[in-house]
Amino acid sequence: MSTQGNANPNSSVNNYSMSSTQNGGGAAPCQNGPGQMYPAMYTASSYYSSAPPAAYPTVAGHSAPPTGKTPVSSTGYSGNYYQSSSGLSPYPAPGTHQYSNAPGQSFQQTAPYAMPAGYYGQVYSHPSQGQTQPQPQQLQPNLMPASSGSNLGAPLYPIVSYPSAPGSSQYGTLRSSQTTAGQPPVSTVMPPPPTQSSLQQYSQGIGATPTPAQPGYGAPPLSQAATVNGQSNAVQQHYDQNLHNPMSHHYAAGPPNSQGPDKERPPSGTPGTSVHSSPQHHPGLLYGDRGVNNAISSAAGDHSSSSSDHEEEDEEDEEADLAAPPAGVPAKQAPPFGYNYPTMHPAYQQNPAPKPNPSPSHGGYNPPGYQPYSQPFPSLSELSSALGGLGGVSELEAETLRPVNLLQERNILPPKRAPPPEPNLSNDLRKVNCSPDTFRCTLTNIPQTQALLNKARLPLGLLLHPFRDLTQLPVITSNTIVRCRSCRTYINPFVSFLDQRRWKCNLCYRVNDVPDEFMYNPVTRSYGEPHKRPEVQNSTVEFIASSDYMLRPPQPAVYLFLLDVSHNAVESGYLNVFCQSLLDNLEKLPGDTRTHIGFVTFDSTVHFYNLQEGLSQPQMLVVSDIDDVFIPTHDSLLVNLKESKELVKDLLNALPGMFTHTRETQSALGPALQAAYKLMSPTGGRVTVFQTQLPTLGAGLLQSREDPNLRSSTKNVLHLGPATDFYKKLALDCSGQQIGVDLFLLSSQYSDLASLACVSKYSAGSVFYYPSFHHIHNTAQKQKFQKDLQRYLTRKIGFEAVMRIRCTKGLSIHTFHGNFFVRSTDLLSLANVNPDSGFAVQMSIEESLADTSLACFQAALLYTSSKGKRRIRVHTLCLPVVSQLSEVFAGADIQAISCLLANMAIDRSISSSLSDARDALVNAVVDCLTAYRANGSNIQPSGLIAPAALRLFPLYVLALLKQKALRTGTSTRLDERVFSMCELKSQPLQQIMRMVHPDLYRIDNMTEQAALHLNDSVIPQPPLLQLTAEKLTREGAFLLDCGSVMYLWVGKCCNETFIRDVLGFQNYASLPSNMTEIPELQTTYSERTRAFISWLLESRTFLPAFHVVKDDASTKTSFFQHLVEDRTESAFSYYEFLLHIQQQMSK
C-alpha cells in the first residue's frame, strides 16, 4: 500500500482530491450496492487481476451465501445508495424552490409534487422537474441573490445551526479563514475541476444511468441544461474550494507527525496537475491493493471489492465525458442542486421539507382551514421566500399552533392519515434524520427543562421500531467501529467534526479522535473525508460487529416447537394447519446450514421426538414424570434441519394423525416449558408454544379466575396481572440463556393469558391469540392463523440481542414498555428480536438543555443474525430543543403521544386499577388543554380550544378508552382484554394507531379522481371518514381497516353493481354472512377495489383477517364497536366526551 502511495508522490493534494472525484464521482455511491452490480464485479476480476481476489472473500463473508446470490444485506445497500443518489438531487430543489417562490399559493401548487415522495420508484420518473425548477428561480433574482444556486445546495440553517451538518459546507466555513495560504495553488488547479467535479456530481445521478430503470437522467432537456450548467458551475467552484482547500491546508500546514502513519498521504501541497495524466484505474488498483495488504475486512475491503468494478464504468463515463463535453457535461450537470446534500440520504426524507405530506399522494390534502389560514400571513410568506427553507418551517409551526375550537369543528379528521410532524431542523439534518417509522418522539420539539415539560403536561417519550424490515440499509464492515470513548455512542450524522482528526460526541460532548481507518471513505474511495463516511451520512446503519461484541461464538438458529396435543387441541384442529404451514415454509425458515429444529408435544405427559439422522422414522420418547421433568436423550432432540429434513417432514406429516383419538384433557404446559428450557439452554434460540387451554398439571398450573358475570361490569376489573410468578421466573431464566418464547394461544375458554403472557413478555417473545379457534367452524380465524404463521415462520429473526438507548446528556429514560427484560438501567435484553415488535420509553429531563440546541437519541441493537453474523443496527434521531411552551405544543406528535399514553395506562391498570388508568387518560387531555389555555392569550374565551397539532388528542383518547383493553361496561372477555393490552404494549406505532383509531373508507363509489398511479395500476384514494354510524349509508359499502382485521360493511340497499362486480353475488340477499375474502373478478370495479385494499396492505407484515359484514348480520356488533365516535350504552360519544372535558377543565 505504502509503495503504491509513494509511487506517485507528486500526486499530492490534487491527486487525492482527484481520486475522490473520480471514484467518488463515477463509481461511488451507487455501485457499491452489489444488487445489480455483482455481474460487473466478475468482469472486474478479469480486468484487474490483482485487486478483486482479495475482495471476493470479504464480500462472501459479508453476506453468507457465496457469490451467486444477491445477499439481502447488500441489496439493501445498493438500494440505498443508488436511490438516494439518483432520486435525491433533483428533488429537494423543487421543494424549496417552489415554496420560496410563491409560498402564498403554493398550497395549490403542490399538485406537481403529488408524486409519491416516499416511494423511490416514482422519484425517477420526475427528475426532469428538478431541472426545470431552476428557471423560475432565476426569474426572481431579488429574492435569491447571486448565490442562489449555492444557497440551495448549502441550505440555510434556519433556526438551529449546527456545525456538524454533514454537507461539505462545514469545512468551507470553518476553515475559510485559514485556507488563504493554500489557496493560490489550488485555484490554479481549478480549471480542470469543473469537469472533474461535474463528474463528481454526476456520480450522484449516474448511479441511475447504467441501469435501464431510470430513464430520467438519460435524456435531460438540453435547452435548460445550459442555464443549469452555468449555475451549477458556480456551485462547483464554491464547493471545490470548500472541499479542497481545507485539505491542502491540512497537508501543507499540518504537523509533520500526522504524516507519519499514513504514508500514502503525500507530502505537502505541491500542486501537481498530474490529475489527468495518471491512468484512470490507478486508484482502483491502489485501493484494491490496500484491501489485500491490510488483509482486513475493513470497510475498505468490503467496498473496494465492489469499487474496483466501478472503475470501468467510471472510465466509460469519463471517456464519454471527455469525448463530448458539450453534450455530456450538461447531462451530468443535471442534478447540481443536490450536490451539497451528501450522497446518501435515506430516501424517505425526500419530500420537500415545508409540506407535511410524505403520504404517497396528497392531491387532496387540503384540510379544512388550511387554505384560508395561509392568507392572513402574507408577510410571513414573503419572509419565508426570502429565507428559503425557513419560511416553510415557521409557517408549519404556525399552522400546528392554530387554535381549533373542537366543539365547533365537525370534520376534524384529515382526508388522509396525517403524517408525523417534521422536526424543526435545518434541511441538512432533516434529510439525514431517522425515519419516523423507526424512531419517533412524542414531542418533536424537546422542551429545555423539566419545568417547561411539566407546564405542557404532555408525556415525553420515544417510540421505537428498531428491527423493522427495511428496504435499504447501509451495512458497514469495519475493523474499528467508531464510538465515543466515554458514553459509547456510535458515530452518527449529528456529531460535529472539529477538524479532520477529531469529532465531538453529540450525546456527551466529549471530543474523540477519528481513527485512521475512518479517514478512508470506502464509498467514494477517497481519503481524508471522515464526514462522508456512510456512518456519518445515514442515521440508520448496520455494522458487522467484530469479536469484541461477542460473549460466545454467534449461536445458530435454533427453533423448538412446543405443541399442545390434548383433546381440546386436537379438537380445534390447529395441528393440521400448523404442520402444513411449517411443511410449506420449512425451506424458508431463516437460518443457515447450522439451523437446528426440534419438536416437543405435551398433554398430561411430555413427548420428545428423536429425529437423529439415519433413523428410519421419528422416535417418540414419553416423559411422564412431570414433577421433575428431564431430557431423555441429549443429542438428537434438536437436530440439524438440513441433515434430518426428511425425518422432520415425516414427523410433520404424521403428527396431526397421531393424537386423533386422544382422551387426555389435561395440559402440563409448565413442565413442558421447563423441558424446553433445559433442551435449549446450551444454545439459546426460539421456542414457539401452541396452547389451547388452561394449564392444569404440574408446575405453573393455573385456576380459572374469570367470573363471566363481571365481564361487563363498570366497576373494577380484577385479575389483569399474573396469578403466579412461575412464568415470569421461567421467562427470566430463558432470557438469561438467550431463549425467546413465543406464545400462540388458541383457546375458546378462559386460559389466563395474563399469567401465560409473562413467559413471552419477559423473554422478548410475541403473543398471538385466536379466540375460539376452530378449523371448520371459524374459517376467518383459521385463515388469519395461517397467514400469521406464514409471516411468523419466515420473518427475520435476531438472536441473543441487546438494545441500548442513549440520549443527550440531561435526558434520562426512566420507564420502558415492550417485551423484553431490562437487565440494567438502560440495557434491554432481548433473547429474540423480531421485526414486528415495537418499544416505547418514557423520559424525563434531569438537567436543563439550555446550552444545546439539539437533542439526540440513539438506539443500538446488537444481535446475531440467522446466518450467524453479529450485527449492530444503529438508529439516531435528532430533534431541536426549544424554550417556548408554544413551540412545545407545535411539535407535539399526537399519534406518538396517544401510543405512549396507552402504554402508560396499561401499566397503570395492572399496577393500580383500570378505573385509575381511565381517569388518568382523561386527565391527560384535560391537563394538556388547560395548559394550552393558560398559555395562549389570543384565544376566544368560550369553547374547547386545542392547538391544531393536538386537535385529535381528545378523539384518540376517547378511542383508547373504547379499546378492548381499557373499556368498561361492554362485555369483554378477560383474555381478550389482556391480549389487547399485550398488543398495545408490544406493537409498533402504526399498528397501534390502526387498532385504536381504524380507518373508514367508502369504497363503492371510488373514482379515479386524485387516484394514485403506481406502476401502471391505478389506486383510488377515497377520503378517510369519521368513525361514526352517521357516515354510513344503506346505499354504500364501507371498508374499516383496524390493522389486524378488516371489515367490509355492505349496506342493505347497496348498489347491485358493486355486489355483482366486486363481491361476485347477484344481490344483497344472496350474500353469505361469513364471507372472508374478496373474489378476484375480472371487472374494473373489482380490480380497482382490490388494488386499493392491497395498497392498504402493502406495508403490513401480518395480513389482517377479512370479514364481509352484512347490515343485518350478527357480526355487526364487532363492526360497530369500532365506531368510536358514537355513543354506546356505557361510553360517551365524541361530542359528549368533549363536553365532559370542558366541564372538567372549568372545575
Partner 1 sequence: MEAAVFILSLVDCCALIFLSVYFFIITLTIITLSDLECDYINARSCCSKLNKWVIPEMIAQALATVLMLVSMHWFVFLLNLPVASWDVYRYVKVPMGNMGVYDPTEIHNRGQLKSHMKEAMIKLGFHLLCFFIYLYR
Please report, as ranges, the residues that interact with partner 1 according to CB under 8 A: 721-725, 728-729, 732, 736, 754-755, 758, 762, 814-816, 821-825, 827, 907, 911
Q: Which is nearer to partner 1, 385 or 832 (CB)?
A: 832
In DSSP terms, 892 is beta-bridged to 443
DSSP labels, 636-693? SSSEETTTTHHHHHHHHHHHHHHTTT-------HHHHHHHHHHHHTTT-EEEEEEE-S
- Residue 614 burial (CB count, 10 A): 8
By beta-carbon proximity to partner 1, the closer residue of 723 and 1018 is 723
CA distance 807 to 844: 11
Cell of 1070: 344472496
* Cα end-to-end distance, the chain, whole Å: 77
* Cβ–Cβ < 8 Å for 592, 556: yes
> Considering beta carbons, is residue 524 or 763 the nearer one to partner 1?
763
- Nearest to partner 1 of 331, 801 (CB atom): 801
How many whole angstroms separate alpha carbon 42 and alpha carbon 38?
A: 7
Q: Which three cell numbers stand for residue 52?
A: 478483486
865: DSSP letter: E
CB distance 507 to 809 below 8 Å: yes
Q: Is 1095 helix (H, G, I), strand (E, B) or coil?
A: helix
Gap between the Cα atoms of 945 and 932, Å rounded: 8
Q: Is residue 561 within 8 Å of residue 569, measured between CB atoms?
A: no
Phi/psi region, residue 1010 (left: phi>0; alpha: psi -120 to 50; beta: rest), is left
Cell numbers for 148: 442562489
Grouping H, G, I as helix, E, B as strand and the rest as coil, residue 368 is: coil
> Closest approach of Cβ 550 to partner 1, in Å?
18
| Cα–Cα distance for residue pair 706/752, rounded to 1 Å | 8
Q: How many CB atoms lie within 10 A of CB 129?
A: 17
Q: How far apart are CA 215 and CA 212, in angstroms?
A: 6
Cβ proximity to partner 1, 462 vs 1006, nearer residue: 462
* Neighbour tally for 1057: CB within 10 Å: 11
Rounded to the nearest whole angstrom, what is the least distance from the CB of residue 697 to partner 1 in the complex? 20
Shortest Å, Cβ 803 to partner 1: 14
Q: Which is nearer to partner 1, 817 or 871 (CB)?
A: 817
Q: Which of 536, 461, 289, 1054 is nearest to 815 (CA)?
A: 461
Residues 6 or more apart whose CB falls under 8 angstroms from that of 142 comprise none
DSSP H helical segments within 514-644, as ranges?
516-519, 534-537, 567-572, 574-585
Give the span between the Cα atoms of 140 and 134, in whole angstroms.
Answer: 10
Task: Answer for the pair 675, 631: CB distance below 8 angstroms, yes or no.
Answer: yes
Give the Cα separation of 639 and 642 in Å (integer): 9
- Of 616 and 824, CB closest to partner 1: 824
Detail the DSSP E strand segments found in 725-838. Answer: 739-745, 767-769, 798-807, 811-817, 821-824, 827-833
Closest distance between partner 1 and the C-beta of residue 823, in Å?
A: 5
For 252, residues 6+ apart whose C-beta sits below 8 A from its C-beta are 181, 182, 268, 269
46 vs 26: CA distance, rounded Å: 20
Q: How far is the CB of 895 from partner 1 (least distance, A)?
A: 23
Q: How far is the CB of 692 from partner 1 (least distance, A)?
A: 22
Question: Could you tell me the smallest distance in angstroms from the CB atom of residue 540 to partner 1?
Answer: 26
- Residue 800 C-beta: closest distance to partner 1, Å: 15
475 vs 805 by CB, closer to partner 1 = 805
Cell numbers given for 793: 415462520
Torsion angle defined by CA atoms of residues 543, 544, 546 and 551, in that order, rounded to the nearest 10 degrees: 90
The number of residues making up the chain comes to 1147
In the bound state with partner 1, the residue whose beta carbon lies nearer, of 822 and 1139, is 822
Q: Is the dihedral of CA 570, 571, 576, 578 positive or negative?
A: negative
| Closer residue to partner 1 (CB): 513 or 725 | 725
When the beta carbons of 421 and 765 are compared against partner 1, the nearer one is: 765
At closest approach, how far in Å is the CB of 870 from partner 1? 21
Residue among 1 and 723 whose Cβ is closer to partner 1: 723
Least distance in angstroms from the C-beta of 765 to partner 1: 14
Provide the minimum distance between the beta carbon of 982 and partner 1 in the complex, in angstroms, as a whole number.
Answer: 14
Nearest distance, CB of residue 922 and partner 1, angstroms: 20
Nearest to partner 1 of 472, 691 (CB atom): 691
Other Cβ atoms within 10 Å of 621 Cβ, number: 15
Task: Kindly state the cell numbers that stand for 321.
Answer: 465525458
Joined grid coordinates for residue 721: 396481572
Q: Name the minimum Å distance from CB 983 to partner 1.
A: 19
Residues 6+ apart with CB under 8 A from 349: 430, 431, 432, 433, 435
Nearest to partner 1 of 154, 732 (CB atom): 732
Angle CA(815)–CA(816)–CA(822) in degrees, nearest 5? 105
In the bound complex, what is the minimum distance in angstroms from residue 920's beta carbon to partner 1?
Answer: 13
| Nearer to partner 1 among residue 754 and residue 1006 (C-beta) | 754
Write down the least CB distance from residue 701 to partner 1, Å: 14
- CB of 487: closest distance to partner 1 in angstroms? 13
Of residues 357 and 829, the one with the C-beta less far from partner 1:
829
Q: How far is the CB of 720 from partner 1 (least distance, A)?
A: 10
Nearer to partner 1, 824 or 1146 (CB): 824
- Shortest Cβ distance from residue 844 to partner 1 (Å)? 9
Q: Where do we find the cell 375550537?
A: 405
Q: What is the 3 state secondary structure string of 325-352?
A: HHHHHHHHHCCHHHCCCCCCCCHHHHCC
Looking at beta carbons only, is 231 or 751 nearer to partner 1?
751
